[in-house]
Amino acid sequence: MKRSFNLAVLAIVVMLLHISALAQLPVATINIGEFGQAITLNPVTNKIYAIAEPSNQITEIDGATNDTVLIPLGTTSEPSLFGAFAVNPNTNKIYAVNVVDNSVWVIDGATRALTAVPVGIHPVALDVNIVTNRIYAADSDSGSVSVIDGNTNETVSIPVGTTPLDVAVDPLRNRIYAVNTNSNDVTIINGRNNRVIKAVPVGPFPSAVKVNPFTNKIYVTNTTGNSVTVIDGATRETTTIAVGFFPDCLAINPITNKIYVGNLSDDTITVIDGATNSTSTVTVGLTPFGISIDLLRNKIYVANGESNTFSVVDGATNSVRSVPSAGNLILGIVVNPVTNKIYAINNVSGTVDVFDGGKL
């Protein structure tokens, strides 16, 4: 009798584990062409945009049906691995860099019409000010930031430091921050008149920048310095915070004032408390390439490229759950907080996996 009871309990446990595993499977896997590179979405239209190379196309995914439409980009196009996209949901325009033709593609989300706007040499990253409808491209080889007028597509070039690799916008104060990797500084630009305000020294080999507009703090990863520099937007004074090994990506939850730093070489996320600058460490999967935050549910999604998983971090407790991807080499992840759907782009398999956030 006891043996039968134990077997019954074991069977129930196995069944529950099986149901849990099934719940983590993607609800859809969408082919986007060879070598998926980057992904973004417009939460207003519920459209997802994934770029693949060398197939030189953007795949538009309907978030409601998972139907796809291909937007050809031409034969000489080549997207940037990271920072390739920016979206203005107010105008329904999507922006993507073309590092070969030294241009930015402008895609009309309603008509899918494509316009190539010339910028500086080797653009690698983008950000958009949705208030002023200006788009900023970091032109790494020309040491400049190109400003695109979202209404006319006219451009202005602003000289910054050496090898700008990332750019971020503070829409509340109309300030733009460009990370200059080889001059180890951040150029602050006045968005009203396109003039440089100041270059602020940071740590060695800065690579990524994000702004918390609510606190007027700017966060910069110093890749070889294993640190994050915090710039006070009002005083331009800096603070250095030790993080993990080879930090190269970050994301901010402005509601909780928490900053999440992806450390590529020790497979961790450093969580910075924006109020105190205290830190905690969360272990995730191999090589965290990208971070996306669901602000409504306070969940953090981390793309673990070399373990073919993504981690779901509870923003309140820092507890972690690992979810396997159906594809290979996850390079990026985005979440639509309106639909609670998560989209992971896989490089080797050229696919996008779609997950139901309610089942994770």
Q: With 90 as the cut, is the pLDDT of residue 328 above it?
A: no
Q: Is pLDDT at 54 greater than 90 in this prediction?
A: no
Is residue 235 scored above 50 in pLDDT? yes
pLDDT at 78: 55
User: pLDDT grade, residue 35 (50/70/90)?
Assistant: confident
* pLDDT over threshold 60, residue 189: yes
Predicted model pTM: 0.91
| Cβ atoms of 229 and 206 closer than 8 Å | yes
And the tokens for 283?
């272990």
Residue 98 has a pLDDT of: 85
Neighbours of 283 (CB within 10 A): 11
Q: How far is CA 205 from the centre of its chain?
A: 19
Q: What is the pLDDT of residue 11?
A: 47
Q: What is the pLDDT of residue 162?
A: 97
**Which of 74-78, 213-217, 280-284, 319-323 is predicted with the least confidence, judged by mean pLDDT?**
74-78
Nearest to 200, CA basis, from 234, 237, 173: 237
Q: Residue 149 — very low, low, confident or very high, per pLDDT cuts 50/70/90?
A: very high
- If we measure between CA atoms, which residue out of 125, 122, 116 comes closest to residue 84? 125
* Residue whose tokens read 């040491």: 143
Signed CA dihedral, 282, 258, 225, 209: sign only: positive
Q: Which domains does the chain have, with CATH numbers?
A: 46-304 (2.130.10.10)
Helices (H), the chain: 2-23
Backbone angles phi, psi at 22, to 5 degrees: -65, -35
How far, in whole angstroms, is CA 279 from its chain's centroid?
21
